[in-house]
Amino acid sequence: MTPRTVQLMILAIILGAASLYLTSESDYTAPLETPLAIASLAELDINQVARIEMTKGDSSVLLVRVNQGWSLPSAWDTPGDRAQISELLNQIRSIASPEKRASSASTHSNFQVGAEDGLRISLQDATGVSMGDLWLGKRDGNGRSFIRISGTDEVYSVTPNLLFRPGFAGGSLEAGRWADRNLYQLPADAEVQSLTIATPEGLVRLKRQDVATAVTDEESTDTAEPADSSWVIVEPESGPADELTVKAILSALKNVQAEKPTDPSDLAALGLEPPHSFIEGELKDGSTFAIQFGLETPLTSGGNGVFGRVIGQKRVSVMRLWVRDSLLKKLDTLRAAPPEPEPLPAPQPDVEPEPGSDG
């Protein structure tokens, strides 16, 4: 190999490295002064955001502010998860510590901030004016992610990791992940006075009975106040109910969760009109609640769920089977166990009288 050949090879390597640098521009820089487009996100007025549109490939999710909450038009107007949506907006406003990674459109696929594999988040106010528009790319190590402001080619690594949330789980975009999963929550101070549980095996009605406190003469008042209560079955038979089972039902009513929203247009096809099973209750203040369950249906994560709805709400959801089964109990389970009979006294052995005794 001649010296000239070696020189040409070295020159080719240098030119190739320079070309790679200019095209990929993936040199990791130190933190820089925050660009104006990113700095403007820190001034985002979250309360003025009226519309959030997220797109990734052929998938899209639209969130629209309704009064103090959010709605998902693309998921049958299901209420949105306010806590998760607020966290997303707060994190967009908190974007900081930018480090420039590239400034060429040819690098967008490397960072997943392009139209093919990037996740676009567009924010608008009530008049349709843009309040922020960015492309969210892949995670950049711990606590950072790549972003690109729409209309520009520059790619930045920023804090925080915007992908770290349930709504973006698995790197996909699904409306159901942004839905409010809380279907019904029995108030902590609510006093349930009666329950009606209907299953294919039959209907059971239960009623709370107050137990008055015995009072002494010194504590005597015009009326004795109830100190405790017990539950009894009033239909299809009369008798005491199992207190632990009823308490478990009341506890489950404090956190009735949905797995995902579903199309409510044909309730009969879902087994909800009429319902296959239900639980109804009446509170001490006279208000009532009712949760209905329909047919079982496969879950995308495996196993089966069940269609259900809360009367008074427009939405229909798929719930996990354990949610239904924690609320609906059959008569045999609701009956109190019969008291165990008291043991008979042990027979006394015959005692022989001692000699000389009167016995």
**pLDDT value of position 308:** 98
- Determine which helix (DSSP H) or strand (DSSP E) holds 244, and give its type and residue range: helix 243-252
pLDDT of res. 281: 98
pLDDT for position 227 = 46
Strand segments (E) across 40-177: 51-56, 59-66, 69-72, 78-79, 96-102, 119-124, 130-139, 145-149, 155-159
Report the pLDDT value the prediction gives residue 24, as an integer from 0 to 100. Answer: 45
State how far the Cα of 196 lies from the Cα of 331, in Å rounded to an integer: 11
Beta bridge partners of 335: 241
- β-partners of residue 145 are 139, 158
Distance, CA of 265 to CA of 278 (rounded, Å)? 20
pTM (predicted TM-score):
0.77
pLDDT at 343: 74
Separation between Cα atoms, residue 192 and residue 251, nearest integer Å: 11
| 332 vs 51: CA distance, rounded Å | 51
What is the structure's pLDDT at 21? 47
For residue 274, what pLDDT is reported?
96
User: CB-based burial of residue 91 (10 Å sphere; 0-12 exposed, 13-18 middle, 19+ buried)?
Assistant: middle
Extents of the domains making up the chain: 24-180, 183-213+225-334
**What's the CATH code, domain 24-180?**
2.60.40
- Dihedral angle, C-alpha 214, 218, 222, 225, nearest 10 °: -40
pLDDT per 10-residue tile (average), the chain, 359 residues: 59 53 47 76 94 94 95 95 96 94 95 94 96 94 93 95 84 88 94 97 94 49 55 96 97 97 97 97 96 96 94 95 97 89 72 62
CA dihedral defined by 283, 285, 287, 288, rounded to 10 degrees? 10
In whole angstroms, what is the distance from residue 231 CA to residue 241 CA?
A: 5
Question: Residue 164: what pLDDT?
Answer: 86
**SS3 per-residue string spanning 211-243:** EECCCCCCCCCCCCCEEEEEEEEEECCCEEECH
Give the per-residue pLDDT at 237.
Answer: 96
Query: What integer pLDDT is reported at residue 22 of this predicted model?
Result: 44
